[in-house]
Structure 1
Amino acid sequence: MKTTLRLLNYVWLLSVLFMGTDTIAQTSEMTIGISSAFSSPDELGETAEIIGTVTDELGPLPGANIVIKGTNNGTTSNFDGHFSLVNVQPGSHVLVISYIGYDTKEVAVEVTKREQLNLGTITLSAGSEALEEVVIKGGYKSSQQKALNIKKQSIAIMEVMASDVIGKLPDRNAAEAVQRMQGVSIERDHGEGRYVIVRGTPIAWNSTLMNGSRMPSTEGTSDNTGGTRTAPLDVFPSEMIEFVELSKAITPDMEGDAIGGSVNFITRTAPNKKTLSVNLGYGQNFQAEKPVQNASIVYGDRVADGKIGFMVSGTYWNRNWGTDNYEVVYNENFSINNLQLRDYLGKRTTAGFNAGMEYKPNDNTKIFVRGLYTDFKDEESAVEHTFAFPTQDGETLNTEGEMSLRVRHGITGITLFGTEMGGNHKFANGKFNIDWKASTYDAEMGNRKLPNSGNTGEPAYLMATFSTPVTYNNLTSDGYKFLDIDAPAGYNGDHYDNIQPYLSSTVEGGQLQLDNQLAYKSYSKETDYTGQLDFTYQPSEKVKLKAGGKYKTMKLERGAPYSYYLYLGGNYGAPIYMTDYATTGFPYNGGYLSEIGNPYDNVLLDPIKKEELPTLFNTETLANPMYYHINFNKENPSSAGAFYTGNEDVAAAYVMGDISLSDKLKLMAGARYEHTYLKYKGHAVTTTEDGPIISEIENSNDFGSLLPMVHLKYMPKDNLNLKLAYTRTFARANFSDLNPTETVSLLSIPNTISRGNIKLEPTYSNNFDFMGEYFFKDVGLVSGGVFYKSLENLIYSARSYETIDGELYQVTQPNNSEQGWLAGFELGISKRLTFLPGFLSGFGVEANYTFADSEMDVPQYDVDQSTGEIMVSTTTEKIPNQSKHIFNTALFYEKGGLTVRLAGNYKGESLAVVQGNTENYRWYDKNFTVDLSTSYRLNSKLRFYLELNNLTNEPLRYYQGTADRPEQTEYYSLRGMFGINYNIF
């Protein structure tokens, strides 16, 4: 016990360094508090426990502050509104319960020693008649109250969103819901949110949790090597979420791989009372010109005298989508290599089921079971015109190029399945708690069978390309095509939003011959098994100690075979023309690139029907001797590297303490240790003069990560928080970086090696955060803070040189750089304009802005051609995928039963790919989307709503070097939905 006391005093000295000399005056008070915390067991055994549930007329109130009047002994209610106040001295007391926006309530209690006093349900009343009207009708304000109260009571720096907030935003998946939080932005796929980004950090630095455990990933890369640890959130419907916690400075009891932040989705378990609600929605995607439908149902109840609670929910979301896209590929001299015009049409469906049950035989025991299942299916078809421009062939000037049309159709499916079982057990009048949980999550991604492929059709993404030689006009004298910003003197280049092929003659569909076919398959799977055990001990009203551990084992599978068919008929036999198959009109749904004036209507051809693709791939057709066939599988040197498996085991332990240094100053300090063991199996491919050699390869590695953390919270006033934190966190390498595949060529000069790197160290970050929060009494907040991250071992793709057995090799592999940093600040405000008269008092504003900048040191390798000496230098780069500017803004109106919210989300440009010199870098362009949601609550049971997304039809853009040199531009148009929500009871 003396050692523990000494350790806590050392932690206090560390906190003084953070807070400054003004806090030294409180040292004696803190020392006395800690000493009294470790009183004799006999004395502590005389205390009592008070339990209860805080609610309003709608349901539980999380984050309520409960304190014994005249003391510092207090607690807060959890997500279910339950609270447990321990170390209560026997006698008469007054319990004070406070909540932002509600009248403070005082409850007189009389407790005896060793008693557990259950106060049952304590209902709070709204703070004014106007507020009461809003709260009772379940408006946006009640949702804000829950989030702000949890945020206010937390020692850590965090954001919170409640399920009823999510239901009032035009967001139907988890990523789009979270983007409304301060410091958060998202990346989209065909206009729909997929990845969460915190404070502009790279996606891989942000962890996504499901009930406290990291979600499995199914993400791959374009070459099917299965790249990232990032969980795609468009597979997860927002209706299944109860709360979202965004931790910007994590605590020791949370998983440590979260440099940017940790987003925890908490699913529904059991209600406090009988619940049945139905949601129905119908709308339109104006790019696809096809409908969008949504339906969900939630049912829950408590039975057996309240000892058993359960909740089940189901959701179905069907949305057609469309994308107009043009892409440009450049040569090294910035001339245009090819122009691609892509029109996508697709249909995504998400079916989800969530169930939870808890059993509370008494006030000291709770056992729960949770399960969820989601099935995401994305059926995609695309028509792609590609204009390949000529380039100079030696000394010959060539003005002939090629035009091709590719049709593709496939279905990709992702399933996510998870189950959890756990419990909470209280002992010693609530002072000692044991929490445990065992869980398994499984995520699998792969192609599905096409609807018209027949019983023998294999799941695959099918593509067929038809082409013909063409001649172009408006080229330079040496046969190149340029944009106007890169055009040489005397040449009239094209504007980036009107890049014309300038065909010398009209091309008809009957001229295009079958060139090649591709049956592409994708597959990835991750299975996680996790067990955890946590102990909490609260020896006094001023100290709470917590310790625990977690063990997780993960199995990863990546890779799938695919087939390539080159049709040689055009040169060696009878050609197959595109018009030999049934064609259909070009899908001008919503007008193709109408946003830039429909510039390509004169060159677009009618493609074959997507239903014809399975015919091209049937056994009889592929038996044609004009086909040259390649199987890309484990036996093919070109694809063997895409097949690998991985096993990761993580054992973690932590210890932490919450200490009330005074009634205004609180400290949380502790450390977490995670030990990671990796074992990956793949293939080594060596190309020699005698041909390629393929062999299996297995690599392993392990490393430990010690993560100390300190949080301080100072409350000079009841509605003002000042929070300071130091945390050490990390980010493990992506799966593709650890892939043991090694490709060696002994025919190159110099010899080359391309490989993964199992010995990669994780990227570590020492994080320093300061945040100030001022809470308005009429439910609002103004906040501001700064953050700094000192980075070690950043992972980048390196090209270096090595001498092996006297031979020089050029080696490409992921490596660790030495150091870097990321720093910035954030500001936010949420304010209701209640000071305005009458109708205007229903208006409110929300806005938050985050600025971040970064640098990383990247080694550069070169070889002195005269001496063969390998030279190393260092350059400074921005961290990839990091945005400088992020902001969210909203203007809302809420009065009576009417709620209107106009919201905007901005993400600044970010470096996407380092390629060539700085002028060749690929950048993700800035993006600002605007959405509108309105609802009218007719009564306490029935609500009508209208949701509109992407009001300004904001494009997604990538560019090379400068914004006037686009590489990819996509438009998605507007989508909207009208619906009803009926709370039956």
Structure 2
Amino acid sequence: MKTTFRLLNYLAILMVLFASAYTKAQGTQSATLIATNYSVSDPLGDESEIIGIVTDELGPLPGANISIKGTNNGTTTDFNGNFTLTHVNAGNQTLIISYLGYETQELEVNVPKSKQVNVGKIVLSAGSEKLNEIVINGGYRSQQQKALNIKKQSLAIMEVMASDVIGKLPDRNAAEAVQRMQGVSIERDQGEGRYVIVRGTPIAWNSTLINGDRMPATEGTSDNTGGTRAAPLDIFPSEMIEFVQLSKAITPDMEGDAIGGSVNFITRTAPSKKTLSVNLGYGENFQAQKPIQNASLVYGDRVADGKIGFMVSGTYWNRSWGTDNYEVVYNDNFSLNNLQLRDYLGKRTTAGFNAGFEYVPNANNKVYFRGLYTDFQDEESAVEHTFSFTDSEMSLRVRHGITGITMYGSEIGGNHKFANGKLNLDWRASTYDAEMGNRRLPNSENTGDPAYLMATFSTPVTYNNVTSDGYKFLDIDAPAGYTGDHYDNIQPYLASPVQNSQLQLDNQLAYKSYSKETDYVGQLDLTYIPSDNFKLKMGGKYKTMKLERGAPYSYYLYLGGNYGAPIHMTDYETTGFPYNGGFLTEIDSPYDNVLLDPINKSQLPVLFDQETLENPMYYHINFNKENPASAGSFYTGNEDVAAAYVMGDLTIGDKLALIGGFRYEHTYLKYKGYGVSTSDEGEEINPIENSNDFGSFLPMLHVKYMPNDHLNLKLAYTKTFARANFSDLNPTETISLLTVPSTIVRGNIYLEPTYSNNFDFMGEYYFKDVGLLSGGVFYKSLKNLIYSARSYETIDSELFQITEPKNSEEGWLAGFEVGISKRLTFLPGFLSNFGVEANYTFADSEMNVPLYTTDENTGEIIVTTATEKIPNQSKHIFNSALFYESNGFTARVAGNYKGESLAVVQGNPENYRWYDKNFTVDFSASYKLNPKLRFYVELNNLTNAPLRYYQGNTNRPEQTEYYALRGILGINYNIF
């Protein structure tokens, strides 16, 4: 792996030297991209080319359309506003520059034969005084224009969001910013967005990229199993993002593992002019009743006559958080096994640094560098009351720990043009690391390894309101003659009150998690432009990835209650409870009469000091690689992916364009883990190593028809795939001969990836005054869906129940989406300053899963097939916003709705775990006092919408969480 990346570095160095040598050879070809007057370079070939940059008063305009009058020869500007127009005939030519919301401009250019002409900076102006005022003030409209122009010019079906739009939303991480896009929803953790979901598809089917490379994963799911390929986006500050591209139908030059969609975060590189801005914010989380602070700094400039550009940015985001939660665990007959009341209080800190550098010696060459570092720390404490009805016990657990996630990486690359712009060479080498683990608690005297600490105190109790056979039910499941509890008022009904002094130390747990992924990537792209209506592009990409997963922990069972002196909770310092604004006030605080004061979290390190743990009353177990009970959770993996693609971009007349081609990706897997065998003769652990490889051929076709300048019709067929989750490929095999029947639980490295044939159609109508009306349909034909399978097999005359991930036969996902973004300029007076944005996505799906039932007479397990929804797929997704903008003042109310989705297939449909519908409302407003100074306010979760999971029926909750309102006030000062 290191050798491979060393070779990539050598390649990068050679490219830089080549660029430098080529620059010297070209001599006078040194016209800067931002020259005010155009210049002419030395001969380049038989034809000429025109280069330049398109801007407005504020900066570059990406997605501007440039064409030569009277011909079909045209191009668009890139993210930095630069353009290159090749195959230009000598003579007087007229450039037509158009941009949504701006006046179309014509520019006369005298083009010598076989020359490169640099027209320098072309500054566009708005179409009226009113629009000009809005643009110059740098409001929401100007950034909306950038995004819509990029979307309009793209041949593919995509959504785009610009950095300044992100900055005007009440969102402080990447996931929450992206949820505003059409067809996007998110999964939250402690009220904060973490994972992106496109069109309601499972998280694992969506590819999250950073500058075109897949972002490394540290954990995969909200339960910290560390098993999926999803990257947690709450570690990624939104201030580090320049653009977000959401591709719903990918092209062959993009990574192919993206069934739902591909979200690409483009980080900052270099500005077009000197920039220095400071952002400061302060607020409060009303659940935690503690502060939120945010600060960021961005500085960039261009020097050496514009040939060298750089940008650095830093951000610090410290936010307190709080969660009130109740959870219910059910028995097989839907009676309540236990009720858990959990009060969380925590602090999350994100510190990020981003740097970009580019060297542009001339119009034909650019070499760039990007680097980033972000560190996320989540300090969490929790007090958990558990009422165990089945065991006639009550317990109180206190836990405290810090989980840290660090992501860092860098890339170097270059863009080079040869043969009068007909041949372009792009190259890039990058490496990214992401690492997760527990960190040392502040002011802790514990000298051991960092760990998440937990201690549980318990006491026997007697419960009232149970059936004659000792069961407790909700009202929807109550048997005849029994009055069950309402789902939002499940009471323990203790026969007598419990005092703190009754609770005795039961057990302690020191949990340590570790997860790391390291990626090395090299990429080379070659573009050949033989004519002004055809472009051929081909290239290759090689990625090698290494991952490590493991979560050791130490369990201490205190035997004093039975064999010696007990340890009472009152032997330690306690703290008042509930704190942080009460507990479950949203449902009228129904548990205040049963809540006890817990030990202070500062007492946990005392319980875990060496002197305490040497007490002979402790029974200690280490769950690590040497323990059969935990060896299976430790594994490593290596994945090498070699990809190649060919694609053609063809323009037919001025109304029709298409992209066609294919991509091939070959994946090689090698995983190492442990096999565990348990029998009457004892337990045995043996290393296991498995490998596999597969190839994926991915044809793609995009067609774009433009009946007029305002209407796009886009049709796409793409084949994409999703690799199996890391945990599914884990080679661990656990065999137990002590159960009836004997069991085998194992991973499956021979899983096929899930493939999808995707059909998309989208219509886009662009309003003259900046806005969009869009609608489309999509259908995905799925093969090899991955699910957890249970089967029975006779091995050496012994019947085994085998649990492992397998591929199902087929499935499908289909739906439609509509959206509108419109400023209400047709209304009179101040009403004309309002605007609306709304989009709705409907999706439905089916997949075949095994259904297990037991014959009542023989006890035989019967396996049939059931048709179910694809897990984590929401049928309804809706985003809406009402905004107002005038004279430097902007206000926006935004709502996000995600419909219910199947979370876990477990047992029969009545036992399935569902994620309930969720609707959140946020508000943001800002006032621009002058071109440099802006004040803003951001409020999140105005509706205090709970996160809910339920089992089978919405009135049978498994988990309900409330987060309350959070808000921040701040200023943004653009010094220059």
Q: TM-score, normalised by structure 2?
A: 0.94
Alpha-carbon displacement from aligned partner over 1:892-945 (angstroms, at most 9, x marks no partner): 101111100000000000000111111111000000000000000011100000
| Deviation, structure 1 residue 220 | 4.9
Alignment partners' CA distance in 2, 1:853 and 1:192: 27
Aligned to 2:29: none
| Deviation, structure 1 residue 588 | 2.4
Distance change >3 Å, CA 975–CA 871, structure 1 → 2: closer
Distance change >3 Å, CA 624–CA 221, structure 1 → 2: farther
2:486 is aligned with 1:519: no
Aligned to 2:182: 182
CA contact (8 A) 1:151 1:158 kept: yes
| Deviation, structure 1 residue 859 | 4.0
One-letter amino acid of the counterpart of residue 600, structure 1 = Y
One-letter amino acid of the counterpart of residue 736, structure 1 = S
Q: Note the aligned Cα RMSD (angstroms).
A: 1.6
| Deviation, structure 1 residue 866 | 11
| Deviation, structure 1 residue 112 | 1.9
Alignment partners' CA distance in 1, 2:253 and 2:144: 26
Distance change >3 Å, CA 96–CA 305, structure 1 → 2: same
One-letter amino acid of the counterpart of residue 612, structure 1 = Q
Aligned to 1:370: 370
One-letter amino acid of the counterpart of residue 768, structure 1 = F
Alignment partners' CA distance in 2, 1:559 and 1:277: 42
Alignment partners' CA distance in 2, 1:539 and 1:870: 66
Aligned to 1:490: 481
One-letter amino acid of the counterpart of residue 650, structure 2 = I
CA contact (8 A) 1:224 1:642 kept: no
Residue number among 407, 413, 416 corresponding to 1:422 in the alignment: 413
Aligned to 1:690: 681
Residue number among 774, 777, 795 corresponding to 1:783 in the alignment: 774
2:649 is aligned with 1:649: no
One-letter amino acid of the counterpart of residue 672, structure 1 = R
Distance change >3 Å, CA 845–CA 225, structure 1 → 2: closer
Moved more, 226-235 or 473-482: 473-482
One-letter amino acid of the counterpart of residue 306, structure 1 = G
2:745 is aligned with 1:754: yes
Distance change >3 Å, CA 782–CA 765, structure 1 → 2: same
Alignment partners' CA distance in 2, 1:696 and 1:437: 38
| Deviation, structure 1 residue 223 | 8.2
Alpha-carbon displacement from aligned partner over 1:256-309 (angstroms, at most 9, x marks no partner): 000000000000000000000000000000000000000000000001111100
CA contact (8 A) 1:817 1:859 kept: no
Aligned to 2:9: none
One-letter amino acid of the counterpart of residue 477, structure 1 = S
One-letter amino acid of the counterpart of residue 551, structure 2 = A
Moved more, 795-804 or 205-214: 795-804
Residue number among 451, 455, 474 corresponding to 1:460 in the alignment: 451
| Deviation, structure 1 residue 590 | 1.9
One-letter amino acid of the counterpart of residue 293, structure 1 = Q
Aligned to 2:339: 339
2:550 is aligned with 1:563: no
Alignment partners' CA distance in 1, 2:123 and 2:466: 77
CA contact (8 A) 1:174 1:234 kept: yes
Aligned to 1:477, what secondary structure does the other structure show? coil
Alignment partners' CA distance in 1, 2:70 and 2:795: 75
| Deviation, structure 1 residue 857 | 1.6
Aligned to 2:24: none
| Deviation, structure 1 residue 479 | 1.4
Residue number among 881, 886, 892 corresponding to 1:890 in the alignment: 881
Aligned to 1:837: 828
Distance change >3 Å, CA 329–CA 212, structure 1 → 2: same
Map 1:335-734 to 2 at 5 A.
335-390=335-390, 401-454=392-445, 456-734=447-725
Moved more, 802-811 or 113-122: 802-811
Alignment partners' CA distance in 2, 1:194 and 1:224: 12
CA contact (8 A) 1:800 1:860 kept: no
CA contact (8 A) 2:446 2:605 kept: no
2:307 is aligned with 1:307: yes
Aligned to 2:773, what secondary structure does the other structure show? strand
Map 1:240-319 to 2 at 5 A.
240-319=240-319
One-letter amino acid of the counterpart of residue 834, structure 1 = T
State how many pairs are aligned.
Answer: 934
The runs of at least 4 aligned residues of structure 1 exceeding 3 Å deviation read 220-225, 859-873
Aligned to 2:171: 171
| Deviation, structure 1 residue 808 | 2.2
| Deviation, structure 1 residue 492 | 1.4
Aligned to 2:461, what secondary structure does the other structure show? strand
Aligned to 1:61: 61
Alpha-carbon displacement from aligned partner over 1:144-200 (angstroms, at most 9, x marks no partner): 100000000000000000000000000000000000000000010000000000000
Aligned to 1:485, what secondary structure does the other structure show? helix
| Deviation, structure 1 residue 366 | 0.3
Map 1:17-96 to 2 at 5 A.
45-96=45-96
2:954 is aligned with 1:954: no
Alpha-carbon displacement from aligned partner over 1:25-58 (angstroms, at most 9, x marks no partner): xxxxxxxxxxxxxxxxxx9942111000000000
Q: Percent identity?
A: 81
Structure 2, gaps ≥5 residues long: 1-42
Alignment partners' CA distance in 1, 2:130 and 2:771: 16
Aligned to 1:80, what secondary structure does the other structure show? coil
One-letter amino acid of the counterpart of residue 530, structure 1 = V
CA contact (8 A) 2:852 2:907 kept: no
Aligned to 2:901: 910
CA contact (8 A) 1:224 1:522 kept: no
2:848 is aligned with 1:857: yes
| Deviation, structure 1 residue 863 | 9.6
| Deviation, structure 1 residue 480 | 1.1
Aligned to 1:12: none
CA contact (8 A) 1:850 1:887 kept: yes
Aligned to 1:250, what secondary structure does the other structure show? coil
Aligned to 1:471, what secondary structure does the other structure show? coil
| Deviation, structure 1 residue 867 | 11
2:99 is aligned with 1:99: yes
One-letter amino acid of the counterpart of residue 172, structure 2 = R
Distance change >3 Å, CA 404–CA 872, structure 1 → 2: closer
CA contact (8 A) 2:219 2:225 kept: no
CA contact (8 A) 2:758 2:780 kept: yes
CA contact (8 A) 2:44 2:420 kept: no
Alignment partners' CA distance in 1, 2:62 and 2:237: 23
| Deviation, structure 1 residue 225 | 5.3
Aligned to 1:215: 215
Alignment partners' CA distance in 2, 1:404 and 1:592: 18
Alignment partners' CA distance in 2, 1:910 and 1:211: 31
| Deviation, structure 1 residue 222 | 8.1
CA contact (8 A) 1:861 1:872 kept: yes
Alignment partners' CA distance in 2, 1:846 and 1:347: 33
Alignment partners' CA distance in 2, 1:222 and 1:182: 24
| Deviation, structure 1 residue 746 | 1.9
Aligned to 1:158: 158
Q: TM-score, normalised by structure 1?
A: 0.94
| Deviation, structure 1 residue 565 | 0.3
Aligned to 2:838: 847
Moved more, 170-179 or 447-456: 447-456
Distance change >3 Å, CA 848–CA 224, structure 1 → 2: closer
CA contact (8 A) 1:544 1:658 kept: yes
Alignment partners' CA distance in 2, 1:435 and 1:287: 50
Alignment partners' CA distance in 1, 2:446 and 2:949: 41
Alpha-carbon displacement from aligned partner over 1:832-865 (angstroms, at most 9, x marks no partner): 0001111111001110000000001224578999
| Deviation, structure 1 residue 519 | 0.1
Alignment partners' CA distance in 1, 2:950 and 2:923: 29
| Deviation, structure 1 residue 752 | 1.1
Moved more, 343-352 or 129-138: 129-138
Alpha-carbon displacement from aligned partner over 1:368-420 (angstroms, at most 9, x marks no partner): 010000000000000000000037xxxxxxxxx11100000000000000100
Alignment partners' CA distance in 2, 1:688 and 1:225: 27
Structure 1, gaps ≥5 residues long: 1-42, 392-400
Residue number among 865, 874, 890 corresponding to 1:874 in the alignment: 865
Alignment partners' CA distance in 2, 1:647 and 1:66: 46
One-letter amino acid of the counterpart of residue 852, structure 1 = A
Alignment partners' CA distance in 2, 1:435 and 1:255: 16
